[in-house]
Structure 1
């Protein structure tokens, strides 16, 4: 995120590079930088003749170079944006010849999503000298809640830890999807609002009471009545609550709980750091550790591995996922 801000700041100051190679597993920031360049380098009246968008599936590297070598018409520079450039992965290294001596009046933007170029080869090294190579790395799940908080903070909103966790559990680590939902919330909520679980439920449709976050909490507290209520809701709404996601999240929780048992220093700050969780959730692990000693946690982890396989259709004899989840709860609480 800091690298993105620096690129935008440099462009605003007029420090514009001839090549921007945007690559990596997370498409959100690649799109954000590319769209900023597309919208801000040229004035509207200059774009007709001096800005073009190409697609990797439709062009060759030679076509890109040919367009990049053109001179701008009645403008200081031209902008050439290549989207889906990963479709040219077999020949992208040929761009290194152009990168050695890029056209100074061209801003060439390469969107190379879900992949990376080899940093040992010529293309990476030459672009690093003359332009910008930006790698957009996928965030780990435990980093996404902090990303949500920082994005909203910059837009004069806050969000409760539970609401943030609901978004992550429902949408995963896809920043584009999460950002789209945040944009919807900003339309209906005034600046200064703290986004709550109720806001998430009312505007996005994620239940604040029947979700994996609440299931995890109920299991940790050995609240069997609440846990089975949630599982029954999941059984009635299987499309919105796939078993594979539930088992995966529970597996992560009990794996972290096993780590918690092994910690010598159980100070909340140390626990949050060691488990890579928000300090807000530390008490859940303290409570769960009282109800699930280390030996029991090891047993639950093994059980979750077993049900992960069953949930994917192996040795389950077409048992409905709702029934498998109920059986899983019985095994966890036994």
Structure 2
């Protein structure tokens, strides 16, 4: 994983060729930024950093750049975006790549250049000779979705890099409130680090006070209030969403998605699936599955089936103008907590 590359870079261990692939764009971007910091000084960036989009530029042009001596510095950094020739996907545009030129470079890379392939693809075509050769010669980092343990370690590492310590319960609350999107988490961690100031400490109270809730997270919290049969608090969240100009039909769609997840998690757990297996089957993050499993325990199969029928009825009423949209969800919430 790219996290292993970060550890090596922080020890100033820089290799001549890197291959970053995967769909977690935040991790790829962070790795590129870390490489820039480690390879080039601020003064050298304008002269010795080059970025190529391989959907628009042939690979031989980038290789020629990598073979050029650095100007006013010791190293060049060449970032190659979208190397689609490493996949089985059909190449966009009419760019033809001289793969033989790349193979020659891989056999003897320039000692003064660092070449980074940034491949935003879930899989590479392992049948291709060039893919095999590149993986053999390069330091490979897969940018895949982080599990709960890695997410917590990443949050702790980022706060430490900011010169701040974060408590374990604060990490748990942040994940619950923000979700697992790394762009959002990074923004919240950096904001909290600044707020911590001289105390150099982030606690759960600070997280609860300052962390922004996504719409999806507000829906999750709303359902949590339903689970606890706290109708007044559930309605307060709903009214706040309306004040934020969230559309009732969108709120209902998210409610339907969350209750559907509860039903699916409950059903798969009954079949003996573990949380990781459920996450894979539903293509959901394991942390989200873990939270859903906790909520699902409070509903029977019959209750969840009835709730889905209630949502379907409310959706029909909204789309046919049978009743005021805002009132339909209000009644839905009242019925939920009463049941």
Task: Tell me which interval the TM-score lies in, with the shorter structure as reference length.
Answer: 0.7 to 0.9
Contact 1:50 1:77 in 2 (8 A): yes
Q: Is the 8 A contact 1:18 1:130 kept in 2?
A: no
Paired position in structure 1 for 2:282: none
Q: For residue 41 of structure 1, what is the aligned residue in structure 2?
A: 39
Who is 1:214 aligned against? 221
Distance 2:30 2:72 in 1: 27
The match for 2:62 is 64
Q: Deviations over 1:4-47 (max 9, x none)?
A: 34323444666543322222211111111111111112345655
Of 233, 245, 251, 2:254 maps to 245
Aligned to 1:151: 154
Segments of structure 2 that go 5 or more residues without pairing to the other structure are: 280-285
Identify the match of residue 165 of structure 1 among 170, 173, 176: 176
Quick one: distance in 2 between partners of 1:18 and 1:77? 10
Q: Distance in 1 between matches of 2:177 and 2:235?
A: 19
Give the Cα–Cα distance (whole angstroms) in 1 for the partners of residues 268 and 226 of structure 2.
17
Worse overlay, 82-91 or 45-54: 82-91
The CA deviation at 1:95 is 6.2
Deviation of 1:187 (Å)? 0.7
Distance in 2 (CA, whole Å) between partners of 1:164 and 1:176 is 13
Q: Could you say what the CA RMSD is over the residues aligned between the two structures, in angstroms?
A: 4.3
C-alpha distance in 2 between matches for 1:215 and 1:107 = 49
| Runs (5+) with no aligned partner, structure 1 | 265-269
1:177-196 correspondence runs (5 A): 177-190=184-197, 193-196=201-204
Matching residue of 1:267: none
State the alpha-carbon separation in 2 of the partners of residues 48 and 114 from structure 1.
29
2:330 corresponds in structure 1 to 326
Q: How far did residue 200 of structure 1 move?
A: 4.0
Q: Quick one: which of 135, 142, 147 aligns to 1:135? A: 142
For 1:107 and 1:77, the matched residues in 2 are separated by 7
Task: Say if 2:125 is the partner of 1:122.
Answer: no
Shift of 1:186: 0.7
CA distance in 1, matches of 2:70, 2:329: 63
* Distance change >3 Å, CA 222–CA 259, structure 1 → 2: farther
Contact 1:100 1:130 in 2 (8 A): no
Task: Summarize the Cα distance change of 1:263–1:215 in structure 2 as closer, same or farther, 3 Å threshold.
Answer: farther
Distance in 2 (CA, whole Å) between partners of 1:200 and 1:277 is: 18
Provide the rounded CA distance (Å) in 2 between the counterparts of 1:85 and 1:94. Answer: 10
Q: For each residue in 1:68-126, what CA deviation from the matched residue of structure 2 results, as whole angstroms up to 9, or x when unmatched? A: 23233565542212346669954789364344232332211122335543222233211
Q: SS of the counterpart of 1:252?
A: helix
Matched with 2:4 is 6
* Alpha-carbon contact 2:16-2:114 (below 8 Å) kept: yes
- Aligned-pair distance for 1:132? 2.6
72 and 251 in structure 1: CA distance in 2 versus 1, 3 angstrom threshold:
same
Deviates more, 1:293-302 or 1:91-100: 91-100
Residue 239 of structure 1 aligns to a residue in which SS?
Answer: coil
